[in-house]
Amino acid sequence: MIKPFRARNPIAVGLVGATVMIALFLGALNWDRLPLVAGGQTYTAEFAEAAGLAAGDDVLVAGVEVGEVTDVALDTDRVVARFSVEDDVWVGDKSVAAITIKTALGQKSLSLDPLGSAELDPGERIPMERSVTPFDINDAFDELAVVFGEIDTEQLAEAFDTMAETFSSSTPEDVRASFEGLSDFSRTISERDEELAELLSNTNEISGTLAEHNEQFEALIGDGSTLLAELEDRRDAIGELLSGAREMSSQLSGLVEDNEEEIGPMLEQLDRVTVVLERNQRHLNESLELAGPFYRMMGDTVSARGWIDSYICGLVDGGDASCVPPRSGGG
C-alpha cells in the first residue's frame, strides 16, 4: 500500500528532492556533453606537445569550423587531445591532425586533413607520426634569450681577436678582411651586451602583455568585424534603396508620358488655383493688418472702464459732414 505524501519522512523526502535538483542543475550545465544528447563523433589525437591547445578550441576542416576540442591531457611522453566533430564530417583512417595558430594573438585550433580510404575508428588514436605542432615565436624568443644569456661575450671577442691576429700576416687580403669584420662584430656584441639583454627582456615583456590581453584583443577584432558587417548591410540597403528609386523614377516617367494629355490641363488648373489662393492670402493679410489696431483699442477700452462707448460715423445721414464723435457722458 502506498503511503500518502503527508505520512512520509520529510527529511528523506527533502534529501531526495535536493539530490534530484542538483542532478538536474548539473545536467543542464553539461547538456551538450551528455552521451544521449551530445551530437557528433569523438576522436583522439596524439601530439608531441600541447603547444597552447586547450579545451574549447575550434576543430577545423579546410578552414571551416566542424567541432571543438573537449579535453587535452598528458599521457606519459605525449599529449592526448580529444575532440568532437559533427555527424556529417568524414574522418579517414589516414587523417592528419595539426595544431595551428588561429589568430595573430596566438589562439590555437586543431586542423584536420581527412585522408584515407576507410573511416577512422573512434577508438583508435591519430598517432604522433600523423600529427603536427606549430612553431611558437614566443618560445623561440625565450630560448634565444637563454642562449644569448649563456654566451661569454668578452671571451668570444678575445677569440675573434686572436683569430684575426693569427691570420693577419699569412692570409690573403679578402680572408683577412673577413676575420677583421668578425672581430669588429664580436667587439660590437661585447659592447652592446647589456642593450641586447634589455631588448630581449622587453621582447619577453611584450609577448607576456599580449598574452595577458588576448581576450581584449579578440573582442576588439570581433567588434571590428561586427562593425564592418553592419556597414556592409547598410551599404546593401542603400544600394537597394537607390535601385528602387531609379525604378520608381522610370515608372513615373512612363506614367507622365502615357498621361501627358490629362496631366497637362490638370497642372494648368492647379496653377490657376494657386494664383487665386495667393491673391486671397494677400487680401487676408491686409484685413488682419487693418483689424489689428481696432481690436487693440477695443481691448484697452474694456480693460480701463466699466462701459463701452462706440461711435459709427456716416451710418445715418444727419446733414453733418463732420465725423468727430461727441464727448461721452460716461453712462
Is 4 within the bounds of a domain?
no
Question: Are 55 and 119 within one domain?
Answer: yes
Is 83 within the bounds of a domain?
yes
Question: Are 55 and 85 within one domain?
Answer: yes
Q: How many angstroms separate the most distant Cα atoms in the chain?
A: 150
Q: What is the mean pLDDT of residues 273-284?
A: 74
Q: What is the mean pLDDT of residues 300-321?
A: 57
pLDDT at 276: 74
- Which of 8-22, 67-81, 94-108, 181-195: highest mean pLDDT? 67-81
Is 118 within the bounds of a domain?
yes
Question: Are 119 and 55 within one domain?
Answer: yes
Q: What is the mean pLDDT of residues 20-42?
A: 66
Give the whole-angstrom CA distance, residue 143 versus residue 145. 5
Output b/e per residue, 235-245; b: 16+ Cβ within 10 A: eeeeeeeeeee
Question: Are 62 and 123 within one domain?
Answer: yes
Is 47 within the bounds of a domain?
yes
Structural domain span for residue 116: 39-135
If 0-12 CB within 10 Å is exposed, 13-18 middle and 19+ buried, where does residue 81 land? buried
Question: Are 158 and 197 within one domain?
Answer: yes
Question: Are 100 and 80 within one domain?
Answer: yes
Q: How far is CA 20 from CA 25, 33, 181, 232, in A?
A: 9, 19, 79, 50
Question: Are 50 and 126 within one domain?
Answer: yes
Give the whole-angstrom CA distance, residue 198 versus residue 202. 6
Weakest-pLDDT range from 35-39, 124-128, 169-173:
35-39
Question: Are 57 and 122 within one domain?
Answer: yes
Is 273 within the bounds of a domain?
no
Question: Are 123 and 147 within one domain?
Answer: no
* 118 neighbors 37 (Cβ within 8 angstroms): no
Is 316 within the bounds of a domain?
no
Is 290 within the bounds of a domain?
no
Q: How many domains does the chain have?
A: 3
Give the whole-angstrom CA distance, residue 108 versus residue 279. 80
pLDDT at 65 over 50: yes
Question: Are 182 and 197 within one domain?
Answer: yes
Question: Are 166 and 182 within one domain?
Answer: yes
Is 305 within the bounds of a domain?
no
